[in-house]
Amino acid sequence: MKKSKDEINAFLGGDTEFEGRLSFTGAVRIDGRLSGEIFSSGTLIVGESAVIRSKIHVADVVISGEVHGDICADNSIEINVPGKLFGNIQTPRLVIEEGVIFEGNCKMKDLEKQPEKSRARSPEKTESLSILK
């Protein structure tokens, strides 16, 4: 049977601790304690009882537990109650439920991945807009 992309293929339970570098494909759920680094092209699910102290770079992350460290997500970051995030984040999509704790900075990458200068209006466009007024 072929595994789907979002099927959880690893689970770190509530009474477990892990220290080191974690890399995976697909989806991984953590309910225990983890210290180190996490890298993946998949989805990281942080359960309510999880405490993670890590630098994280994944495609998607869903946080319901506690995370200390910077997160770079290629697609999205979702923080659900009672989630806590202490660190800087970078992602094109961010969802934060009312009632979560987030302490840090957020950088939203441009979805079109265009440089800042090319998104600015050119003088020609500005002139044509003033004519239409």
| DSSP code for 25 | S
| pLDDT band, residue 6 (cuts 50/70/90) | low
Alpha carbons within 13 A on the beta-carbon side of 53:
5
Calpha distance 24→1 (Å, rounded): 19
Number of Cβ within 10 Å of residue 2's Cβ equals: 4
pLDDT tens for residues 63-95?
Answer: 999 999 999 999 999 999 999 999 999 999 999
pLDDT confidence of 111, banded at 50, 70, 90? low
Give the phi and the psi of residue 11 in degrees, each rounded to 5. -145, 125
User: Band of the pLDDT at 7, cuts 50, 70, 90?
Assistant: confident
Q: Is it the case that residue 36 has pLDDT exceeding 70?
A: yes
What would the mean pLDDT of 29-47 be, rounded to a whole number?
96
